[in-house]
Copies of this chain bind each other. A is one copy, B any other.
Amino acid sequence: MDLTPEQRAEIDALRAQRTETRRAVAPALEEILYEPIPVLDHGFIRVIDYMGDDAAIVQAARVSYGKGTKKAQSDAGLIAYLLRHRHTTPFEMCEIKYHVKLPIFVARQWIRHRTANVNEYSARYSILDREYYVPDPDQLGTQSRSNRQGRGAVLEGEEADHVLGLLRADAERCYTDYEVMLNEDSDGNKLDENRAGLARELARMNLTLNAYTQWYWKIDLHNLLHFLSLRADPHAQYEIRVYADAMVETLRHWLPITYEAFVNYRQGGLSLSAKGLAVVKRMLDGEAVTQETSAMSKREWRELMESLGREA
């Protein structure tokens, strides 16, 4: 992640401003406000703004005239109760806004979450920077054999070098040709006075999917927790998971009580089916249940035993 001196100065100017407000303030989040948190080789997330704190959830749940409850302990108890019982509306009363820089193929996965507000940098209007994602060698996974949409062991030796070389060369060439078509570089300098230059809305199609884009992304807390429970998860693709992990960290700064409840009720939990629950009950009664007697498919049985930390 490389900021230009102008970008750094703009961020510093925002960080230097201090104004009084009557609103709820989250002190630990104020500490990192506007500051880019690096993700992948050229990406980042920055918290731009937020609304509410842990007490605001309680305040909304009670539709109260004042703050939440008087005691921090009862706030924690109520927040845990609300999250456990999926009373979602009080969590919708907090909001957060990020500035995110991310590869286009990650952006395409991310945008599938429709319950957020998005304003993306327009390549119809502006020229993208010469920045593209190349994985770390230790992230160069092979196609998984067990999971058709996952990765297995890491590529090694010559094959890894070859792949990295292709990714770099193709992205470089496509970007260079993008400038040639535009007849302009990213600073707006014309390359050849005798050429007209292709429209930006067309030239952009020559970029590769690892090119970086940027957007402002704003979401309420309920939908953020849902996004994080799916994306800050081992099943998520590494390249989006690292963004989600960085956002979980901003959640911890913003709403420490909600963060604890999220870790307990969303991240570390397990969802049992009716058949799975029946199996657990029989096992607790001392029965030696097997896949054959479980009424579950082999795959589900394996998944359940793994989740329970038992041999399948």
Query: Which residues of A are at the interface with B, using a C-beta cutoff of 8 A?
Result: 3, 6-7, 9-11, 13-15, 17-25, 30, 33-34, 48-52, 56, 59-61, 63-67, 77, 80, 84, 86, 89-90, 92-93, 95, 97, 99, 103-105, 107-108, 111-112, 114-115, 117-122, 124-125, 133, 135, 139-144, 148-153, 155, 159, 162-163, 166-167, 170-171, 173-174, 177, 180-182, 195-202, 204-210, 214-216, 218, 220, 230, 237, 263-265, 267-277, 280-281, 283-284, 297, 300, 307-310
Measured CA separation A218–B265 after assembly (Å): 25
Count identical subunits in the complex. Answer: 4
- The listed residue (B21, B24, B143, B309) touching A30 by CB distance below 8 A is B21
Measured CA separation A297–B79 after assembly (Å): 13
Measured CA separation A49–B265 after assembly (Å): 28
Chain B residue with Cβ nearest A36: B65
B264 touches A274 (CB 8 A): yes
Question: Which residues from B are CB-within-8-Å of A274?
Answer: 263-265, 267-269
Chain B residue with Cβ nearest A175: B170
A64 touches B284 (CB 8 A): no
Known A-B contacts A21-B25, A124-B237, A149-B125; the reply to A142 vs B63 at CB < 8 A is no
